[in-house]
Amino acid sequence: MRAIVALGLAGVLLGAAACSGTSGSEAPAAAERPAAKGPYKSTPLPASYKIPGVRLTDQDGRPYDLAARSKGKVTMLFFGYTHCPDICPTTMADAAGAMSLLSPAEKARTQVLFVTADPARDKPKALKDFLGRFDPSFVGLTGPYAEIKKAAADARTSISPPPTNAEGNYAVQHGSNVMVYKPDGSGGLLFPYQFGSADMAHDLKALLAASSAPGSSPAPAAGTADSIKVTGAQVRVPSSPDVTAGYMTITNTGRPDTLTGVDSPAAASVEMHRMVMNGANGMKMEQIMSVPIGKGTVEFAKGSLHLMLMKPKGLKLGQDVPLTLHFAGAGDVAVTAKVVPVNG
């Protein structure tokens, strides 16, 4: 199937390509590609295009908020699957080659995200093993198919669900283009299939330079783990076998950052929640995907922001519970929480 790329006032139309063991995955020849303007060899995307606002799971099994974790970086986003025999490995090899042509400073401001279109087979370890063959900095993402489908729709990329009750080796349909976003999350460029490492690197350098130019929206500087301090971390003795709450105080002495998730080996998962008004019914608890951490202090406390440890694992009074906080800028911050009484 020929991948179709066309730009117009209505937006970008992306065709789906079925990976196969043959050379039948066609892409437009160089002469057929839409003409680009400005310093780029590829097709510029409208600024109205935004990086998908979904939360998936990365190759280490941790929550990953696409929008929050992409702030301040040029992001290459591709939908594929690890059993793909042609389009996916070719594209990842081109992306790895492009990254190798960037300076260390440019590479630090660029990331590659690979979202699987085949979550049934592409568990986190499979993604990590596959992407590690190209560049260990690449981030593999999986999750419920409904969330992946939403992400693809937001990215104007076509994917089709894997065959129902399929076993063994089967092909999955997915778009063959790489969507590139600016550091503010808006549309940047579209790299067609077999665009090549050299041309990718050329356009990434130009996009990074334009994002740093006077008059452009400055990319937020990344925070550091040294600027984040967490105190008073506590976890309550579970009041039920299914869930218990956690509290802490986060102090940020550096640039604004975003808390994108928390996890712990002491629970099946850790969610972030807040209390909100529920009309005449009073307050209700609402899950949130990220928490802005400006310069200053953010409290996770009873009746406001708090953590919910889902299916905690045998917590006992006085026990130390390890938590890992994931920040968009500062990265991972390890915290030890003390188990306290329910009414403590």
Token pair for 247: 């509290």
Name the pLDDT band for 46 (thresholds 50, 70, 90): confident
Q: How far apart are CA 63 and CA 59, in angstroms?
A: 10
Reply yes or no on whether the pLDDT at 21 is more than 60: no
**The domain made up of 225-340 is a member of CATH 3.30.420.40:** no
pLDDT of residue 215: 52
Give per-residue burial for 117-137: e unless 16+ CB within 10 Å, then b: bbbebbbbebbbebbeebbee
The CATH label, of 1.10.3210.10, 3.50.50.60, 3.40.30.10, 3.40.50.360, for the domain at 5-212 is 3.40.30.10
Reply yes or no on whether the pLDDT at 164 is more than 80: no
Q: Do domains 5-212 and 225-340 have the same CATH topology?
A: no
pLDDT of residue 277: 64
Name the pLDDT band for 29 (thresholds 50, 70, 90): very low
Reply yes or no on whether the pLDDT at 18 is more than 60: no
Interval 60-74: pLDDT, tens: 999 999 988 888 899
Task: Select the more confidently predicted residue: 330 or 140.
Answer: 140
Query: In terms of C-beta distances under 8 Å and separation of at least 24 residues, what long-range contacts does 24-30 make, across chains too?
Result: 25/1, 25/86, 25/87, 25/176, 25/193, 26/1, 26/2, 27/2, 27/3, 27/176, 27/192, 27/193, 27/194, 28/2, 28/3, 28/4, 28/192
Interval 217-262: pLDDT, tens: 444 444 556 789 999 999 998 867 789 999 999 999 988 888 888 9
Whether 84 has a binding-site annotation, put simply, is: yes
Give, as one character, the DSSP assignment of residue 39. Answer: T
Residues 177 and 19 sit within 8 Å (Cβ to Cβ): no
Name the pLDDT band for 165 (thresholds 50, 70, 90): low
- Domain range summary for the chain, segments of one domain joined by +: 5-212, 225-340
pLDDT of residue 323: 93
* Range with the largest mean pLDDT of 10-14, 252-256, 320-324: 320-324
Name the pLDDT band for 300 (thresholds 50, 70, 90): very high
Reply yes or no on whether the pLDDT at 32 is more than 50: no
In degrees and rounded to multiples of 5, residue 18 shows phi and psi of -95, 120
Reply yes or no on whether the pLDDT at 27 is more than 70: no
**Averaged pLDDT for residues 139-145:** 96
Whether pTM > 0.75 for this model: the answer is: no
Whether 19 has a binding-site annotation, put simply, is: no
Q: How far apart are CA 290 and CA 278, in angstroms?
A: 21
pLDDT of residue 255: 83
Residues paired with residue 83 on neighbouring β-strands, in sequence order: none
Name the pLDDT band for 332 (thresholds 50, 70, 90): confident
